[in-house]
Amino acid sequence: MEGSDGSKWSRRPDSKEKGASIHERETEETRTVKRVERNPSGRSRTAAHGECVFKKVECLSEGKGSVTTQLKAQVIYALRHDFKVVDLIQVASIPKSTYYYWIKHRERPDKYKETKRVISLIFHEHRGRYGHRNIQIELQKRGIQLDPKTVLKLMNAIGLTCHVRMKKYRSYRGNVGKTAPNVLSRDFMADKPNQKWVTDVTEFSLFGQKLYLSPVLDLFNSEIIAYTVQSRPTFDLVSTMLDQAFKRLGPGDELVLHSDQGWHYQMTKYQTALAHRKITQSMSRKGNCLDNAVMENFFGILKTELFYLQKFESIDHFRQELDAYMVYYNQKRMKSKLKNMSPVEYRTHVEQAA
């Protein structure tokens, strides 16, 4: 169109056309900057804050240094009102389908809810001493059939972990008397009760004091026949235990009693007491703890499941818990080699079958 002075001029666009022309002039980068609101470092606030959140979650995820995909999905769901979900998914580095799968199934009932309750009940009933294999056996006894790996997975899901066994206390004082040959010779199998016994002494240190335990174990069913606890490792510690154990012997029992080369077992009084009852004495070879492996194993179990696992208020409290554990070990704690029965249950089972 021409003006009155003959010059050409163009019609001024209206507001809509003006807005359209400005929008057309904006580049894709400009629109992205306005949408995400970049910070001075050039990274989006969503990405910067999101990464910070996931790093904090990683630090709090049971100290494992990693975050599960499910936990990431939960974090994204919790932050969905503050940030764009698509940005959070990108920061979390998980597939979009994974997040929406979790959203779809998050209200789904847990089919293992009752099983988890029973697992927790068994775990605490045995005071954290049972791992996933023993718990799986207990579940079978209660009519719940699960694979051991599934039990382990469920235990991890509810935060139950069996404690790892710690090293036992060892001591040796050298030769102070007469030693006996290794009659047992690592043959830890017994066909009947009161055929082979093993014994040893171990030490507990707590509240600035020491206690000494002297038990005797029957290799037939791993039952603790007798035990004594004293504050000093005198000969009475062992002799009193022997007096208690001898009450279990019958007229026709032919017994082998094995120990290490501790000074108690080299004493003339000890050897005379065995000879008087026609008990064959056996000793481990010097410095060879494997010759008395069953007794060493029991001490490891005892210290792991009681001494290192529980907290005690006093020496008397520890003695009470030790007595309670001995009852638990003999009457309730199952062993796989005893057909998943406790020592007393196995002995009773064999006696009834005979």
Which CATH number among 3.40.630.10, 3.30.930.10, 3.30.420.10, 3.40.50.970 corresponds to the domain 196-353?
Answer: 3.30.420.10
Answer whether residue 205 shows pLDDT above 60. Answer: yes
Question: If pLDDT is split at 50, 70 and 90, which confidence band does 62 have?
Answer: very low
Query: What's the CA gap between 235 and 177, in Å, rounded?
Result: 13
Query: Which pTM does this prediction carry?
Result: 0.58
> What CA–CA distance (Å, rounded) separates 136 from 144?
8
- Integer angstrom CA distances of residue 240 from 3, 216, 224: 128, 11, 15
Q: Which two tokens stand for residue 41?
A: 């470092």
Other CB atoms within 10 Å distance of the CB of residue 128: 16
Q: What is the pLDDT of residues 122-153, one digit of tens each?
A: 988 887 878 888 899 999 989 999 998 999 98
**What's the CA angle centered on 229, arms 167 and 187, to 5 degrees?**
55
pLDDT confidence of residue 209: 87
Instruction: Tell me what pLDDT residue 100 has.
Output: 82
76: helix, coil or strand? helix
Q: Per-residue pLDDT tens for 95-129?
A: 888 888 877 777 777 788 899 999 999 988 887 87
CA distance linking residue 308 with residue 341, whole number of Å: 25
CA–CA gap between residue 277 and residue 254 (Å, rounded): 9
What does the domain layout of the chain look like in residue ranges?
A: 69-105, 112-158, 196-353
DSSP codes, 167-189: PPP-------S-----SSTT---
* pLDDT tens-digit map of 211-227: 999 999 999 999 999 99
pLDDT for 64 beyond 80: no
